[in-house]
């Protein structure tokens, strides 16, 4: 679980949820429809716009993003690997005995000690 009460996680997870992006003519827009967004005025339990809601009720905004984050866990290489190969032998850190780079998903130079970080990287969509 990602702790959304940590500022950097909150913003990262909110970004993953809303997929806010820059428009050609300037300004920003979410890819997520307000109707589907827990922070929007339609769903946040008040009639406030999401930015006002976030500013005035930060705990509730964090709670909403946390709930979304829990319900939409990011896929990791480890999770997907174990889904396909549930009986693969793991090392004492709980990751496969070979590094992810052996499978061609990353460079050998990026390998981290124990390979936990290698395997727990989110799969980019
Ligand atoms: Zn590694």
Q: pLDDT at position 113, please?
A: 80
CA of 106 to the centre of ligand 1 (A): 9
Q: Give mean pLDDT, residues 95-118.
A: 92
* CA 90 to ligand 1 center in whole angstroms: 13
Structure confidence by residue, pLDDT tens digits, 10-36: 999 999 999 999 999 899 999 999 999
Residues, beta carbon < 5 Å, ion ligand 1: 99, 111, 115, 118
**Residue 125 predicted with pLDDT over 70:** no
| Portion of the chain with pLDDT greater than 70, in percent | 99
**C-alpha distances out from residue 43 to 29, 50, 69, 122, Å:** 18, 9, 16, 28
Both tokens assigned to 75: 């896929």
Average pLDDT, the chain: 94
Band (114; pLDDT cuts 50, 70, 90): confident
């Amino acid at each position: 679980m990602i702790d959304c009460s940590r500022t950097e996680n909150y913003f990262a997870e909110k970004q993953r949820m809303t997929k806010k992006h820059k428009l050609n003519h300037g300004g920003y827009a979410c890819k997520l429809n307000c109707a589907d967004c827990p922070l929007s005025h339609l769903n946040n339990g008040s009639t406030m716009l999401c930015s006002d809601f976030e500013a005035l009720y930060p705990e509730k905004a964090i709670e909403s993003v946390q709930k979304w984050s829990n319900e939409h866990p990011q896929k990791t290489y480890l999770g997907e690997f174990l889904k396909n190969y549930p009986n693969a032998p793991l090392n004492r850190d709980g990751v496969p005995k070979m590094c992810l780079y052996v499978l061609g998903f990353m460079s050998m130079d990026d390998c981290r000690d124990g390979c936990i970080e290698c395997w727990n990287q989110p799969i980019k969509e």
